[in-house]
Chain A
Amino acid sequence: MVPWPLYLAWKQLFPSGKKVSFFSLLSIVGVALGVNVMIVVIAFMQGFQQKFRKDIINAQGHARVVPLKPYADWSEIPARLRHAENVEGVTPYLQAQLLLQSGDYHAIPFCMGLQPEDGDEVLPVDDFLEEGMLRLQAHDAEDVTPLPTMEMLEDDVVFLSSQTANRLGVRPAAVVQVYEGNASLPESTGKRSVKVARLDPYVESGEWELLFEDQESCLVREAISGDEFTWETGEGPLDMGFGYPVFELSGGGKPFVAGDRFLFQVFKANKIEIFSPSMIEQAKADELIPPREVRVGGIFEVPWQGFQMEALIGTMRLMADMRAQESACDGFYLKFSGPVARDEAKLQAKCRELELVLEEDWAVVPWFVENAWFFELLKFEEYLMVLIMIPIGLVAAFAIAIALMTTVLRKIREIGLLVAMGGSRFSVGMVFCLQGFVIGSIGAILGCGLAILFIRYREVIMTFIVERIAGSDGQAGVAQFYDFHSLDVPFPWESSESLSTFLSFALFSVLVSTVAGLLPAWRATRLNPADALRSE
């Protein structure tokens, strides 16, 4: 059975014959909004942390192996590391300080050398290249450049971060399909078409015309060189070797008809010159070394660069050459699988284990140790938020306390009556304390519900808000840094961290509202029932 103080507290908030009292509506809405805001802010902060964590692991792997002593030969280290359980990938790297030049423009990016044969199992370079892909825009042409991949990396080819490429004003090879004149329609219409399957960094600029004479054979003509030959499509893709685009058939099953015509315009990749500190040494010795010339193979964007927006990826050999250090290695990036990848404590233990495997000649540094400063910053921000929000919660509590206090004063005679009818003073006080409790509880539940809705519809809400603040142009900029769309904000049933955020703020609001009821409750307890009954 419901204790009478709780019953009466409930009834005072939700009187018979009325849906809800104005006071309780206002207080509950206030508490709900407060709880909602607190949860959402913290959930988003945690979402950012989660996102940065993912980005960092993508950009740096789970851990980095760095030498503690000079080493003679590192070539068997990857095999030893790979042998350990849960090690999914090992990628050696070599860094260098290089000066890039293109025409009058210079850049000194962060330079990373990798082995193309390692692929992108640890560092998802192909994803970075896809992220950084810039398509040319034209009204009657479409950029159909195939995505560059890690496989295209060679000693004479580098990938540049979009910031570096912009600074130097360079870009990789590109090809556009032109739809002007009587050229056939784009592939997207579902018709049979021809597409560029590969575009290596060595292609020359050119204008390619592919004119079908019948459904099998196609006359291929390049306008600048005047080359002309026939492609029998039955023999497979048209691969003329390095330096030429590779064409292949694509699209629907309808056969080609005579007169089908495809136009492609190829733009060659820019070249850049590279200077290294070792060249300066050689120059001092009066040796004149020409700068190294490389081609831009692709443009990438790394979600996390530790604020190094200007970066270059080349081969390890290129870096070794530029440093004039044969077969050097700065360390290895590691990727783990299974529980080690998910659990930071296990990762730390694993790193220690690997250090022992490598006989303590190498340090194995987990990502969160390497980026500790950043996460401490984020944590600090989170705590600061909580610190700011708690006083706001207290202000809400004062409002509730004052409102309940006026209720006590308004209900003095009823308080006297309750005592006269056999209620203890303590129970009478509880009526007001419990009103605070009920307000806090309902507010907490509604606030959690609101927060879930907010998390569920964050895209719609954030797009709306950001557009209001930054305009539709600024939105792209905001999205770049605070990517709400890809932000992983878990629901309370999805992550224990989120659940504890929800629970702690709900508990906070219940507690604060109940405490807010204490003062009015105490006031009610202190009333002399005889005086209370006499009061007008």
Chain B
Amino acid sequence: MKYLSEFADPVLAQRLLDEISATVTRHWAIMEVCGGQTHSIIRNGIDQLLADEVELIHGPGCPVCVTPVELIDRGLRIAAMPDVIFCSFGDMVRVPGSAGDLFAVRAAGGDVRVVYSPLDAVAVAEENPSKEVVFFAVGFETTAPANAMAVHQAHERGLTNFSVLVSHGGGPPAIEAIVTSPESRVDAFLAAGHVCTVMGTRQYEAIVTEHRVPIIVTGFEPLDVLDGIRRAVRQLEAGRAEVENAYARAVRRDGNEVAKGMLADVFEPTDRQWRGIGPIPASGWRLTSRYRSYDAEIRFGVGDLAVEESGLCRSGDVLQGIIKPSECEAFGTACTPRHPLGATMVSTEGACAAYFQYRRLGDEVVPGG
């Protein structure tokens, strides 16, 4: 496929690796923020091929993983109600709440449906006027425009039986929380390229200036990730801290103005909980007053349901890059993708799932392999 295989070329990968080795003189810790990048890194063995001085820390950029457990429980409770059709992206269905998952609700007779696009959920609402149709709107700024459009369309069409359970977040406040955390060892960030296609690179300029930490907007293919690392190392070695765009084929400084306009109409910033991490001010989104009546938490009166997280899972430490998944005692034993204890073992973007899929056997890897 165009611009996929080209950006996985093993010869060019080796050139980038050599360039990084030639530039680096001391230890640097670089966090790849996005779970899609984590998977690319682990699958291709990039962390093992890099110069020893460069340490990659896996970040919290997995929307399913950071959706608070109480929000999942609220979804489970709504999904189990009679006359509700609960629509979700596929990767949310197996994510454990405090007791059970959406899959279990469906097995017990709940009408839980997997959709590819939130517009599919709007269509379900149109086809089922006697049912309440709820869409679990999970995601960062890449998915939020789609979900915003669903709410907007439901509003335009006067659909009163459609609502959304919102778990949106991301943005500079999340990166800022990591930068300012006393436990943080991060010297530079690879920001999520797809988020920046929507939000642009400009949103990071203030953080870079204030905290003097390089942020490289980076894609997902092996060469993209290597180029992000190369640029981060080059900045760090030169004592520079700038926003750099290593994903120029998809990202512009201002992002996607049309999508940002829709986001500003439908959502406004709010404080939010990040599963395993805790509260981060202004890091989440909720519906604006114009669309507040589409908020499923309000409609179904589940907003104050609070729960305790299971003690075994260390996904919080994984999401903050404090431990690697394989350092969790339950990894691969009590916790597997079939019987996940934490969301990071379920999601296709979760670090635990990436390690389980590609790192259990300790295989040697080759670039692009």
B is a partner of A: no
**Residues of B with Cβ closer than 8 Å to A?**
none
